[in-house]
Structure 1
Amino acid sequence: MPLIAALSFPAAGSAQGFALSGRVLKIEGPDSAALSGFRVVLHGITVESGAPLESTLTDPAGRYRLRVRSPDSSAVYVVSVLYKGVAYFTAPVSAPEQEEIRLEPILVYDTSSVRPQIELSQRHLVVRRREDRRGRRVLEILVLANRGRLTRIAPDTSRPVWQTQLPKGALGLEVGESDLSYEAVYRRGNAVAVAAPIPPGEKQILLSYFLPGDRLELTLDQPVARLNLLAEDSAARLVAGPLQNLGIQDLEGIGFARFAGNGLAPGSEVILQFDTGGLSPAAWWWLVVALAGVVLLTVLVRHWPSGESSQRSLELQLRAIEAALTRSPDKLAPEELQAYRRRKAELEQLLRRSGKEPS
């Protein structure tokens, strides 16, 4: 479950509680079958903590019904089921005005440690100007795709499910709001690795690290369907690599040199040379605020949408920003408040373009 889902969402709720119902289905090739007699667990999650609230067994049709008896307007609720050692979750919901929410089915899969191959469908790198002696901060979004019908698991505890190389000389690694638990994403040498099972579908991972020196050197160790580079340096130039120079992109009033390419092969080398000018203070708007990952994800989704996954991400981002505006507007600086309101309007417009009215 993405970390963004753990933010507090405002909701009216009902003093009498509400019910969550749905089904658990096992995917078998092109077909699905009801998963009967499996325990499903209701979890309540707030910013401070999370705990199981209730559980039940699925009926012969794979159906379940769980009740939130004392709704908390600051919490979100998810339902989970454990199948062959892998936990599967519903999308998070907050306390509704109606008495029952019908959730999307929980889909579970058989597992394999050898297939399908996990694809790197998108890789976005945003390189800021030099901050301090550590160099330039890089914010990177990886989009992993499991296009098979099995959940990919690690072959053993010493090897990850998936990994890819970081740019040469990258320093540190922090994991932000992602579709996988931050404990399951770690540094392995000069690579970022994933230990968690990866079920069918797409998973986004948000990373942050520092890049010393005045160039980015990245050698791809696997195919990348889409690679985007944004550098806060109008003088940045592409020294090597099968990328197209797309000129200067204006994002929130800041100019970024943009380079992009599709269908990159393993072994491709990308070298980006930066201007060797002096230090520049970091802009506050996405490095300082708590919803930094939300802002950048929105920017990237705006320029490179990816279907239903992006729409779901937009909805979660909108709810998170609404929570910040509703619950603690007095804690935001005037410029932050203005930026959040502007972003809220942009998200609502993006959802309308995707054919879904903001709730």
Structure 2
Amino acid sequence: MRPGAEVMEPVAGVWTTLHRVGPDSAGPLDSARTDARGRYSFAYRRTGSSDAVYFVSATHGGVTYFTVPLAFSNVSGDPAEIVVFDTTSGRVPTTIRGRHMIISATNSSGMRAVTEVFEISNDSTVTLVSPGPSSAPTFATLLPKNARDAKVDQGDFSAEAVTFTDGRVRVVAPLPPGVKQLAYSYALPAGDFPLSVPAQAPIDVYEVLIEEPRGTVSGAGLEEQPAATAGGRTFRRFLAQEVPLNAVAVIDIPPPQRTWSPTFLILFTVAVGSLMMLALARAYRRK
């Protein structure tokens, strides 16, 4: 099915494929084209591991779409329905439904781990595609100047679909209608704060979490909320809604407090003790 002018319309001649993915094996099981009414059918038996997942894919306009995992051997109706969309490389209305930043405490190398999550909504009825790797991306945002070791985290885009070059994060994967999540992380030197983060598009919900209790976040309408706890770690939480284009959030985290190693303290104590003994000896000789 695909969106029509007023109702969903059947799509004939689309290749559909039944897949099985399990701990013992994975791969396609069967394939067939949809009929004139956009219908498909497969006869299959569940075999092997009970943890195996079965689902159907359909490719339309060079983009592949999937059903939800098939919970039973006999599946029909909504769980088996696949909605496909026509494609475009032109402009489509998109919205940043949410942006989340998580800044961790400084590690032993003097770096802070930063995780960013975007919830990107394609508000049209067509899938946005990039004509090629060197063409305009389907989504892009800024990467801090000194960001290191950038990598894609678990979300709706694979590592192959995202690039980190020239101070920008670029997505080249298709962006179908609906909301998709982009998650990535990188490391920043502790000395790069305060960090200014401009909004390159309006943001419905903006959230910043910082692990450093002495840190502050200002600008872009961000206001502090009750602290959040995750994995035994506590984060100060700042939240804003309806953030306008070009608003700037400033994340100010002071450098880590210097701590002295036990070895240094021992050497320091010995040195001070030696100086005191030397001073006492000189005073004794004067007598």
TM-score by length of 1: 0.65
Q: Considering only CA atoms, is the larger Rg found in Structure 1 or Structure 2?
A: 2
Q: What code does the residue aligned with 2:184 have?
A: L
Residue 189 of structure 1 is aligned with which of 166, 180, 185? 166
In 2: Cα distance, 1:251 partner to 1:144 partner: 24
The corresponding residue for 1:227 is 206
Answer yes or no: is 1:169 the counterpart of 2:169: no
In 2: Cα distance, 1:190 partner to 1:47 partner: 39
Matched ranges for 1:117-266 at <5 A:
117-133=93-109, 135-159=111-135, 160-214=137-191, 215=193, 216-266=195-245
Q: What code does the residue aligned with 2:67 have?
A: T
- The Cα of 1:68 is off from its aligned counterpart by 3.4
Q: What code does the residue aligned with 1:99 have?
A: S
Q: Which structure has more helix as a fraction of its residues?
A: 1
- The Cα of 1:121 is off from its aligned counterpart by 1.3
In 2: Cα distance, 1:180 partner to 1:58 partner: 27
Matched ranges for 1:196-345 at <5 A:
196-214=173-191, 215=193, 216-278=195-257
- The Cα of 1:265 is off from its aligned counterpart by 2.0
Answer yes or no: is 1:100 the counterpart of 2:86: no
The corresponding residue for 1:341 is none
In 1: Cα distance, 2:255 partner to 2:25 partner: 45
The corresponding residue for 1:287 is none
Q: Deviations over 1:264-287 (max 9, x none)?
A: 22222211111322599xxxxxxx
SS at match of 1:37: coil
Residue 113 of structure 1 is aligned with which of 89, 93, 112? 89
SS at match of 2:160: helix
Contact 1:234–1:256 (8 Å) recurs in 2: yes
Q: What value does the CA root-mean-square deviation take over the aligned residues?
A: 2.3
Answer yes or no: is 1:89 the counterpart of 2:63: no
- The Cα of 1:45 is off from its aligned counterpart by 2.1
In 1: Cα distance, 2:171 partner to 2:256 partner: 36
Report the CA distance shift for 1:263/1:167 in structure 2 as closer, same or farther (over 3 A). Answer: farther
Q: Percent identity?
A: 29
User: Which stretch shows the higher mean deviation, 189-198 or 126-135?
Assistant: 126-135
Report the CA distance shift for 1:186/1:47 in structure 2 as closer, same or farther (over 3 A). Answer: farther
- The Cα of 1:247 is off from its aligned counterpart by 4.6
Contact 1:138–1:210 (8 Å) recurs in 2: yes
Residue 43 of structure 2 is aligned with which of 63, 67, 76? 67
In 1: Cα distance, 2:31 partner to 2:258 partner: 55
In 1: Cα distance, 2:244 partner to 2:52 partner: 44
Report the CA distance shift for 1:203/1:134 in structure 2 as closer, same or farther (over 3 A). Answer: farther
For structure 1, list consecutive stretches of 5 or more residues without a partner in the other structure.
1-24, 281-359
- The Cα of 1:171 is off from its aligned counterpart by 1.6
- The Cα of 1:141 is off from its aligned counterpart by 1.4
- The Cα of 1:128 is off from its aligned counterpart by 1.0
The corresponding residue for 2:33 is 57
Q: What code does the residue aligned with 1:236 have?
A: G
In 2: Cα distance, 1:272 partner to 1:252 partner: 23
Q: What code does the residue aligned with 1:272 have?
A: I
TM-score by length of 2: 0.80
Report the CA distance shift for 1:278/1:51 in structure 2 as closer, same or farther (over 3 A). Answer: farther
Q: What code does the residue aligned with 2:117 have?
A: I
SS at match of 1:276: coil
SS at match of 2:237: strand
Matched ranges for 1:4-83 at <5 A:
25-46=1-22, 50-71=26-47, 72-83=49-60
In 2: Cα distance, 1:219 partner to 1:124 partner: 13
Q: What code does the residue aligned with 1:61 have?
A: R
